[in-house]
Amino acid sequence: MYVTIDGIEKSFLNERKEQVQVLDHIDISMEKGSFVSIVGPSGCGKSTLLYMIAGLEKADKGSIRIAGNEVKKPGPDRVVVFQEAGLFPWLTVLENVKYGLLLKKMPKQEAEAKAIDMLKMVHLSNYIHSYPHQLSGGMKQRVSIARALVMEPDILLMDEPFSALDEQTRMVLHKELIDIWKKTKVTIFFVTHNIREAVLLSEKVIVFGTRPGKVKEVIPVPTSTDGVLPDSVTLHTEQRILAILEEEIEKVLKEEMGDDYSFKTNHLHRNDSGDMGSHI
């Protein structure tokens, strides 16, 4: 296995100085070039796990290995695309994309050429000399993806990268991401709370339970090599994941609103007319 996450545990101290366990014995393995998503309710520790793979946070127990090497600190082989683009406002788009390359001691000319190529790939070649504030949310996120991909990382870690964007932009970026993934064959670890997004994009969806966060189920998504799945197939998978998550959502709600709260199961389902025959 290319990425091996082995027995990861992590707890934080809350405001009342109590130990709160966020991750409980996480075991995940990923093949090289795969696209794996993690879905789960908020606060289940999925982003924390991503930061651990990135090397930005340390686990209390367990280890993460990539191609046999243990992750100890952040490195340019594992680049993160954050929820907010996080572009440096004092640099132009081109300089932002070049930032990591120059850090790798790449010659200036080569870095510039590569950055421009990558910006072409995300359809932003007209904006290379703009500053981030001149771009729309979707464009910023494209730059952020370009900035990550130009590093030619082994793993692309994406932490709810599209959740702050509007629906249309998100759809366009989904398609672009799939194209890029096919072109580059980069391994993608994708954290989201959007079940549909996870099913549409990835080959494997890992469903996380909460308090403490743990792997509830691993669901393979019927291959989407051509990028288009029949709606019935995605819907079926979506509903399966939703059914698993319902229990978790109820747990969270009970905790927040008191034990007498009962979450009415049927209301959350998408309209049933769309899944004709999916239960056969």
Partner 1 sequence: MIAVIWEVTSRLSVLPDFMFPRLTQVLETLFNGLVNGQIVAAIGKSMSRLLIGFAIAIVLGVIMGYLIWRYKLVEDTLGFLVTALQSIPSIVWFPLAIIWFGLNDFAILFIVTIGATWTMTVSATSGFRNVPTLYQRVAKTFGSTGLHFIRTVIMPASVPQLLSGLRIAWAFSWRALMAGELLGSGGGLGQLLETGRSLGQMDLVISVMIIIAVIGTIMDNVVFMRLERSVQKKWGLA
Residues of this chain that interact with partner 1 (CB under 8 A) are 54-56, 74-76, 78-80, 82, 84, 86, 88-90, 99-100, 103-104, 131-134, 151
Q: Tokens representing 164?
A: 């702050």
For every residue of 166-195, DSSP letters joined together read -HHHHHHHHHHHHHHHHHH--EEEEEES-H
Q: How many CB atoms lie within 10 A of CB 271?
A: 7
Closest distance between partner 1 and the C-beta of residue 11, in Å? Answer: 21
Q: By C-alpha distance, which of 163, 152, 156 is closest to 85?
A: 163
Q: How far is the CB of 157 from partner 1 (least distance, A)?
A: 8
Whole-number Å distance between alpha carbons of 157 and 57: 14
Please tell me the distance from the alpha carbon of residue 123 to that of residue 26, in angstroms, as a whole number: 38
* Nearest CB to partner 1, comparing residues 148 and 241: 148
Which of 62, 74 has the CB closer to partner 1?
74
- Asked if residue 128 lies in contact with residue 116, where contact means CB atoms within 8 angstroms, the answer is yes
Rounded least distance, CB 134 to partner 1, Å: 7
Select 38 or 79, whichever has its Cβ closest to partner 1. Answer: 79
Question: Minimum CB separation from partner 1 for residue 86, in Å?
Answer: 4
Q: How far is the CB of 158 from partner 1 (least distance, A)?
A: 12
Find, among 158, 162, 143, 164, the residue nearest to 54 by Cα: 158
Distance CA 97, CA 106 (A): 13
For partner 1, which is the closer residue by CB, 82 or 208? 82
Secondary structure class of 204 (helix, strand, coil) = strand
- Give least dist CB 175 to partner 1, A: 25
Amino acid (one-letter) located at 170 = R
* CB closer to partner 1 out of 85 and 245: 85
Residue with Cβ nearer partner 1 (99 or 263): 99
CA distances from 260 to 247, 250, 255 (A): 15, 11, 10
